Amino acid sequence: MAAKRFCCLFVLSLLSGNVVATTSAAADWPAWRYNAARSATSPDAIPETLSLQWIRQLAPPKPAWPEDPRLVFDGSYEPIVVGETLFLGSAQNDSVTAFDTHTGAERWKFFAEGPVRFAPVSSENRIYFGSDDGCIYCLANESGKLLWKFKAAPAARRVIGNDRMSSVLPIRGGPVLADGKLYFTVGVWPFEGTFLYWLDLQKIASGTAPESAFGVVTLTDMTPQGYLVESQGNLFIPCGRATVGLFDIEAEQIAPLAYDSRGLTDYFVTASENWLFHGQRVIDLETKAMLPINAPRPVSDGSKFYIAQGDNLVAADILKQPEPKPAKGNRSAAAPPFKASWFIKAKQIEDALGTISAARFQPGELTVDIKAGHRVYGRLGNAVYAAEPPTAGQPAKVTWATVIDGTPTSLLAADDRLFVSTAEGQLLCFGAEKTLARIYPPQEQGNISAIAGQQRITDFPIRQAVETLPDRNGFCLVWGSEDKWLKPLLEETQL
């Protein structure tokens, strides 16, 4: 399904060979947090100075589990970029939409049959994504044409879950590409069944139907919630607040992995070489030991990682951390002091804002979100910033900062641009060109207003409709009905 938008408003910006290869072309960002390990680190730099190019206003995100921040894996729009196209999944209108990265114009839109809560993943001109309808979809990047659909949920039973209609076995393990296969999980509750699936994309590309090109294992006592992670032949399955599940890809079986997950873990999992990061925990995958380091939601690059600690952006190296002090008598070994490679204070980010931005700055949480080239990018309140490490005797510094109208929640860098999502549902694009920013009118809100403004002349004949039913007992879902229809519906049935 495709739709074109032609109406826009211009304002002056005040803001300163293998079909399943996972290697991305230069300047792409083909998966959530860039790659299968979810490192959020791209080797491709973007321009140092950025200006607002365009803004899209979408419906504000509504996560599945808003009551617990540790389970809010879908609290922000999480786009990916391939070439000059940005792909955006939406749990608000059950769609994936393609936008032109340069202009923000909509190229196509495809609708699934349930919320799309996870970012798509792309390879070889295909995008793959899952939905709460229990299906995996494969679309052509250029056109949005449906190439195939795999129904993972063995039954068609639907329920009202997380305030939406969904399969009893929704896709709740964000898809990841590894070794020519697409991995994902279905199901939420063990008593209903939770499963890890994988689809052999080479077989499918050769003509095999998806229903004949999959593998599956039961996830006993696991509640998958979050993006799957692959690193060095290991597949990690986030389970919300519980310990991460480990799947040995070569052996095709669940492997043991135990550590203390109480209090400091959540849906967020990433891996880098021999280390697993879960919430604030760091686990050595060789020894299975938990390291005495708190690294909340890091950006990782080999043994190096970047985090926010209070009012400081901190860069550190796992291999350069001090050894624990040996145990003495009845005392256990003391945790060593944390050693930073370099750091930047939040005040430096504030100082880097221009006069206009500084006047509009609203303080808030400091985060580190991505690394592109040698710079790291993050958020501070309603500000977005870039910082780079010390060079040639010069200290680390903030190279660019600006503020936006809203609360930034997610960043990615691709196609020489920086893309920012906000809690209010905005999607912003920053680039090197100094230009008039293109502001598109709200899509979902505009459509809803137009429908609400229409005169309603339909008076649905409830009694006549009820007479056609074979049985007046049971349950009924009333979707968007006027109150005047409810009384005759209840009077004429045994619902």
pLDDT at 54: 98
Per-residue pLDDT at 354: 87
pLDDT value of position 463: 66
Q: Give per-residue burial for 314-329: e unless 16+ CB within 10 Å, then b.
A: bbbebeebeeeeeeee
**pLDDT value at position 465?**
67
Indicate the pLDDT class of residue 55, thresholds 50, 70 and 90: very high
> What mean pLDDT is reported for the chain?
86
Q: What is the pLDDT of residue 488?
A: 73
With 0-12 CB in 10 A as exposed, 13-18 as middle and 19+ as buried, what is 158? middle
Place of tokens 């809803």: 448
CB 397, CB 386: distance < 8 Å: no
* pLDDT confidence bin for 168, thresholds 50/70/90: confident
Tell me the β-bridge partners of 169.
none
Tell whether the model's pLDDT for residue 115 goes beyond 80: yes
Token digits of residue 39: 């490192």
More confident residue, 293 or 260: 293
pTM for the model stands at: 0.84
d(CA 9, CA 357): 22
Q: In the prediction, which pLDDT does 397 show?
A: 96
pLDDT of residue 402: 96
> How confident is the model at residue 470, as a pLDDT?
64
**pLDDT tier, 260 (very low <50, low <70, confident <90, very high otherwise):** confident
Residue 479 pLDDT grade (very low, low, confident, very high; cuts 50, 70, 90): low
Which pLDDT score is estimated for 489?
Answer: 73
Give the per-residue pLDDT at 14: 35
Whether 6 shows a pLDDT value over 50: the answer reads: no
Range with lowest mean pLDDT among 61-75, 138-152, 361-375, 409-423: 61-75
Quote the percentage of the chain above a pLDDT of 70. Answer: 83
Judged by average pLDDT, the poorest of 51-55, 83-87, 188-192, 359-363 is: 188-192
Higher pLDDT, 259 or 228: 228
Strand partners, 122: 127
Phi, psi of 145 (to 5 degrees): -65, 135
| Residue 137 pLDDT greater than 60, yes or no | yes
Across 85-96, average pLDDT:
95
* Percent over 90 (pLDDT), the chain: 62
Tens-place pLDDT, residues 216-246: 999 998 889 999 999 999 999 998 878 899 9
Q: According to the model, what pLDDT value does residue 18 have? A: 42
Q: Which residues pair with 428 in a beta bridge?
A: 55, 420
Is the CB of residue 377 less than 8 Å from the CB of residue 413? Answer: yes
Cα–Cα distance, 356 to 348 (Å, whole number): 17
Kindly state the average pLDDT of the residues 181-203: 93
Does residue 17 carry a pLDDT above 80? no
Q: Please, what sign has the CA dihedral across residues 178, 181, 187, 193?
A: negative
CB-based contact 291:274 (threshold 8 Å) = no
CA distance 28 to 14: 28
Q: What is the pLDDT of residues 296-332, one digit of tens each?
A: 899 999 999 999 999 999 999 999 988 777 766 666 6
Model confidence band, residue 31 (pLDDT cutoffs 50, 70, 90):
very high
Predicted confidence at residue 258, as pLDDT, reads 84
> Tokens 């060079």, residue?
391
Please tell me the distance from the alpha carbon of residue 347 to that of residue 90, in angstroms, as a whole number.
35
User: Which of 22-31, 163-172, 230-239, 359-368 has the weakest average pLDDT?
Assistant: 22-31
In terms of Cβ atoms closer than 10 Å to its own Cβ (0-12, 13-18, 19+), residue 78 is buried
